[in-house]
Amino acid sequence: GTRDYSPRQMAVREKVFDVIIRCFKRHGAEVIDTPVFELKETLTGKYGEDSKLIYDLKDQGGELLSLRYDLTVPFARYLAMNKLNNIKRYHIAKVYRRDNPAMTRGRYREFYQCDFDIAGNFDPMIPDAECLKIMCEILSSLQIGDFLVKVNDRRILDGMFAICGVPDSKFRTICSSVDKLDKMSWEEVKNEMVGEKGLAPEVADRIGDYVQQHGGVSLVEQLLQDPKLSQNKQALEGLRDLKLLFEYLTLFGIDDKISFDLSLARGLDYYTGVIYEAVLLQSPAQAGEEPLGVGSVAAGGRYDGLVGMFDPKGRKVPCVGLSIGVERIFSIVEQRLEALEEKVRTTETQVLVASAQKKLLEERLKLVSELWDAGIKAELLYRKNPKLLNQLQYCEEAGIPLVAIIGEQELKDGVIKLRSVTSREEVDIRREDLVEEIKRRTGQPLCIC
Amino acid sequence: GTRDYSPRQMAVREKVFDVIIRCFKRHGAEVIDTPVFELKETLTGKYGEDSKLIYDLKDQGGELLSLRYDLTVPFARYLAMNKLNNIKRYHIAKVYRRDNPAMTRGRYREFYQCDFDIAGNFDPMIPDAECLKIMCEILSSLQIGDFLVKVNDRRILDGMFAICGVPDSKFRTICSSVDKLDKMSWEEVKNEMVGEKGLAPEVADRIGDYVQQHGGVSLVEQLLQDPKLSQNKQALEGLRDLKLLFEYLTLFGIDDKISFDLSLARGLDYYTGVIYEAVLLQSPAQAGEEPLGVGSVAAGGRYDGLVGMFDPKGRKVPCVGLSIGVERIFSIVEQRLEALEEKVRTTETQVLVASAQKKLLEERLKLVSELWDAGIKAELLYRKNPKLLNQLQYCEEAGIPLVAIIGEQELKDGVIKLRSVTSREEVDIRREDLVEEIKRRTGQPLCIC
C-alpha cells in the first residue's frame, strides 16, 4: 500500500513540485507545516463515511493520535489554535488513508497533497477566483493536456434539493449520489436515489432536470430567472456569487476553461459555498497504450465553517482553497516520459573529474575539491586508478555533459583537458579558467544583468 | 511533543535546506524517498536500547507498522529490496521518537533528518573523505560559527578495548560509557565503568590512557608505533585507514577542521569503521543571552553490515554517510535572527497591484493577472475598494518592495505608477514596459549571458 520513490521518480516529482511551488509563490503564499499525526479527536467527525480509513497510532501511553487524512483539517486546527484571522498559505505533504490500494489504479495509502488556501474575511469571490486562476496556471504549465474546470456551489445544490422536495435529512446522501454522475448515467443515479435511498421518483426526476445541465455564465443567468430556484434564498446567493465569479474569471482570461456544472457535488462534508474540480478532457496517452482515463487532477472549494469547529468560542474564519492531485499528475508525466523514451537525469552533475593515466588520484581529489569550492557540481569515481573508458561510460549513463581530464602532460602545462561527452571534442583549458569555462558551457548564469 | 511550523519558521527552514540541498547536489547525489512507516520487524534490533522509543501504529488489520526512527535503516532496507550495489543519495524527511520532549531542550518527537550516504564497494576512504568534505562545506556555508569534526574508528575502539582487557561481551556497554566523555569527566566515566558495569579498575585506567588523547595525523602515527595497539589487527586496519583519510582531507583543504579523538564512540550499533561528529566550538549566542551550549550539529560514519541484515542472502553493501542535525541548526539560525532583530520575509512577492481611487477592482484584477502570466510574483488586496494607505501598509508589513498603482489618469495615459516602498519614489511606467521594469528592479535575471 506504500512505495519507495526511486531517483528517477523523485526527479519527475521535483519537476512537478517546482512548477506548483513557483505558482503558489507567484501568488504570494506563505508556507506552513504541521505534524504527520494529530490528536485523534481532531480528525473525528470531519470526513463522513471515510473516517474508517484513518490510521491510528498504537496507544503507548499519552494522547491518542492518528495520521493526518488530509491537509485541510490540520490547517483549520492550526488557524484556530493560533487565533489567526487571515493567511494565504500552501502546504505540500503526505497524507494517509487505509484504503484498499489494489482496488484503484494509482492510489496508495501514503500520498502527497499540494494545498493552497486563503483564509480571511474578504469581499466576495475575489479569493475564490484567484484559486481557480492558480489551478488553471498550474495545469497549463504542467502541459498534461487539455482540461476543464467544473464549478458549482453547495448553496445552489442545497437550494435545488429543497425546492425539488428532498427532506433535509437526505441532503448529504442525495448529494453523494449526484456526485456519481461523472461515472454513472442519470438512470443509474436515479435508481440509487429511489431504490437505495428511498426518494420519491418524482422528486428524483425534478433533480434530474437540474443536474443534467451545464454551461457558462448564460446558464447562471438562466437559473437566476428560474421561478422556483430564484425564490430559494440559498440558491439565489449561490447563483449571484457564481455570476460575480464568472466576471472575475473573464478578467483573469480563464472563463473558457470553466464550466458551471450542476452535477458537481464533491464528497467532503465541510464545503459551504463554491466548489470546483478540474478534469482532463482526454487521456494524454498515445493511441495503442493503456489509457489513463479521464479524471480529476485538482479540486477545492469554500469551507467557511471548519475553523469554527476547532475554536473554543466557535469564531469563524472563512476559507477557500484548492488541492492539486499530484499523484495522478506524477503518473501522467512518468507515462509520457516513458512513451517518449526520454532520459531523465537524476543528478545535476556538470563535470566528472577524470584521469587518463594511473597514480593521479591525489590530483583528481585536488581538482574536484577546487571545483566544489567554486560551486561547480562535480564528481569523481571512487577508485584509485579507474580506466578512462569507465569514467567516460559513467558520464554517458548519468548524463554528465563534461569531463575534466588530468594527465601528466596537462599537469606540466598547467592545463586541464575539457571534453564534451556528446561531441567528444577536447580542448585544453588553463586551470585558472576552468571554473568559468564550465559555467559558460553548462549555462550557469555568470551575472545578473 | 510535536509542533506546527509558522511561515517565519518555514522561511528559515527553507534557507537552511537550500544550503544543504545545493551541497548534496554539488556532490552528485540523487534523491530517494521512503514511506513514513516501515514494517515493525524492519526496525527491530537496529537501535539497541533506544528501540523503546519507536512509535507503533495501531493494529487495524494487516501488517504491523512502525513510524521510521531514522533514515539509515529504511535506506539499507531500500538497497537490499531493490538489489542495488551502489548509489549516492540524499534523503530529507521527518523521523519519529517517543522521547520525553520536555527533558531535552529543542528536542521533539517529530523532527527532520538530512542524510547523505554513499553505498558501494570502492577504494578505501575516498567516499569517507567526501562525506567529511560535505559536512565541512555545509557547516561553513551556514555560518553558524566555528566548528570541529571529531573522527575515530570503531575498529580502533574495539582493538583498544581488546588490548586493555575488556571482555568481548562488554565492548558495547563500555563503548557507550566512553561516548559520555564529552559531557562527563574521566573520573565520572571511570566510576560508571567500574561501579555500574563491573570493569576492573586497572582495565579502566588503561582505557583512560587512550581515550583522553586527541590530535591530528601525528597522533595516528604515534599510535601506529604503539607496541600493543599496533599488534591488534583491527586497530591496525583502523589506524592505517585513518592515516589515508587524513591524506585525502589535506587534499580537500579541511585537515585543520578535523580532530582524531579516541573518546568519540557514537551510540548506534550499526557502525563498523570510521565515525565522526561535528561540534560547534562556541555558542553563537551573544553575551547575556541564554547559551545554546556546545553540541553535535552533524555526524555519521561507516556501516558495512546493515544492508546485509535485510538481504535474504546476506549480500553486503558497504555504506558511509552523514546526517546534518538540522533541528539544532534551525534553532541557532532562528535565535541569531531574533538577536539581530532581522526581519524574515515569508513570501517572495515582488509587487502589490494597488489603486488610488475606488471602483478599480476590475482594473486591478486585469493587471495582476497580466503580471502572473508574465511570471511576476504579485498580489492584490481582496477588497473591492481598499484604501491606498492600507495597501501601502500591507507592503511594509510583508516586505513587498514595489507597488503598481492604477488610477483614472494612469488608465487614460496608458501608464502604471510604480512606487518603491522604501524610497517612496514614484515613476510612471508605460504599461507594456511594466513587466521588464519590475524584473529589472527586483533583480530577476532577464537573460543568461
Residue from the list A3, A32, A58 with its beta carbon closest to the beta carbon of B10: A32
Least confident of A174-183, B97-106, B139-148, B439-448: B97-106
| Residues of A in Cβ contact (< 8 Å) with B76 | none
A133 touches chain B (CB under 8 A): yes
Percent of chain A with pLDDT over 90: 82
A397 touches chain B (CB under 8 A): no
Does the pLDDT value for residue A287 go beyond 90?
no
Domain stop point among A340, A373, A400:
A340
Residues A284, A135, single domain; the answer is yes
Length of chain A counted residue by residue: 449
- What is the structure's pLDDT at A52? 87
Residues A368, A323, single domain; the answer is no
Tell me the mean pLDDT in the region A382-409.
97
Interface probe, candidates B58, B79, B113, B344, chain A, greatest A C-beta count within 10 A: B58
Residues B322, B369, single domain; the answer is no
CA–CA gap between residue A400 and residue A420 (Å, rounded): 9
Q: Taking Cα atoms as reference points, which of A418, A425, A415 lies closest to residue A439?
A: A418
Which letter does DSSP use for residue B250 in this model? H
| Residues of A in Cβ contact (< 8 Å) with B394 | none
Does the pLDDT value for residue B220 go beyond 70?
yes
B375 touches chain A (CB under 8 A): yes
CA–CA gap between residue A262 and residue A212 (Å, rounded): 7
With cut-offs at 50, 70 and 90, classify the pLDDT of residue B283. Answer: low
Backbone angles phi, psi at A57, to 5 degrees: -85, 155
Does the pLDDT value for residue A283 go beyond 70?
no
- Would you call A379 and B28 a contact, using CB atoms and an 8 Å cutoff? yes
CA–CA gap between residue B85 and residue B71 (Å, rounded): 18
The CA-based angle A76-A82-A85, given to 5 degrees, is: 70
B94 touches chain A (CB under 8 A): yes
B7 touches chain A (CB under 8 A): yes
CA–CA gap between residue A398 and residue B28 (Å, rounded): 10
| Residues of A in Cβ contact (< 8 Å) with B362 | 247, 251
Could you read off the pLDDT of B306-333 as tens digits, one per residue? Answer: 999 999 998 999 999 999 999 999 999 9
Interface probe, candidates B4, B65, B84, chain A, greatest A C-beta count within 10 A: B4
With cut-offs at 50, 70 and 90, classify the pLDDT of residue A289. Answer: very low
Average confidence score pLDDT of chain B: 92
Residues A326, A356, single domain; the answer is no
Q: Taking Cα atoms as reference points, which of B347, B439, B354 lies closest to residue B397?
A: B347
- What is the structure's pLDDT at A105? 58
Which letter does DSSP use for residue A196 in this model? I
Could you read off the pLDDT of B180-204 as tens digits, one per residue? Answer: 898 899 999 999 999 999 999 999 9
- Judging by beta carbons within 10 Å of its beta carbon (0-12, 13-18, 19+), is residue A340 exposed, middle or buried? exposed
- Would you call B26 and A347 a contact, using CB atoms and an 8 Å cutoff? no
What is the pairing mode between strands B30-31 and A30-31?
unpaired
Percent of chain B with pLDDT over 70: 94
Residue from the list A57, A252, A347 with its beta carbon closest to the beta carbon of B369: A252
Average confidence score pLDDT of chain A: 92
CB A129 within 8 A of CB A245: yes
Least confident of A18-22, A182-186, A214-218, A317-321: A182-186
Could you read off the pLDDT of B14-26 as tens digits, one per residue? Answer: 999 999 999 999 9
Residues B333, B376, single domain; the answer is no
Residue B61 lies in a domain: yes
Tell me the mean pLDDT in the region A137-141.
97
Residues A357, A311, single domain; the answer is no
CA–CA gap between residue A433 and residue A416 (Å, rounded): 9
As for the ipTM of the complex, it is 0.91
A100 touches chain B (CB under 8 A): no
Residue B345 lies in a domain: no
Domain stop point among B312, B340, B368:
B340
Residue numbers in the known binding site of B for L-histidine are 70-72, 97, 113, 117, 266, 270-271
Backbone angles phi, psi at A108, to 5 degrees: -120, 165
- What is the span of the domain harbouring residue B371? 351-442
Residues B367, B422, single domain; the answer is yes
Rounded to a whole number of angstroms, the distance from the CA of B424 to the nearest CA of chain A is: 22
When divided into structural domains, chain B yields a total of 2
Residue B447 lies in a domain: no
CB B150 within 8 A of CB B266: no
Residue A408 lies in a domain: yes
Residues B282, B378, single domain; the answer is no
Tell me the mean pLDDT in the region A335-362.
92
| CATH number of the domain to which B374 belongs | 3.40.50.800
Q: Taking CA atoms, what residue in A is nearest to B400?
A: A28
Does the pLDDT value for residue A104 go beyond 60?
no
Residue B73 lies in a domain: yes
Residues A323, A191, single domain; the answer is yes
Domain stop point among A307, A340, A373:
A340
Residues A155, A195, single domain; the answer is yes
B377 touches chain A (CB under 8 A): yes
Residues A318, A272, single domain; the answer is yes
Residues A293, A364, single domain; the answer is no
- Would you call B60 and A56 a contact, using CB atoms and an 8 Å cutoff? yes
Residue B79 lies in a domain: yes
Residue numbers in the known binding site of A for L-histidine are 70-72, 97, 113, 117, 266, 270-271
B198 touches chain A (CB under 8 A): no
| CATH number of the domain to which B310 belongs | 3.30.930.10
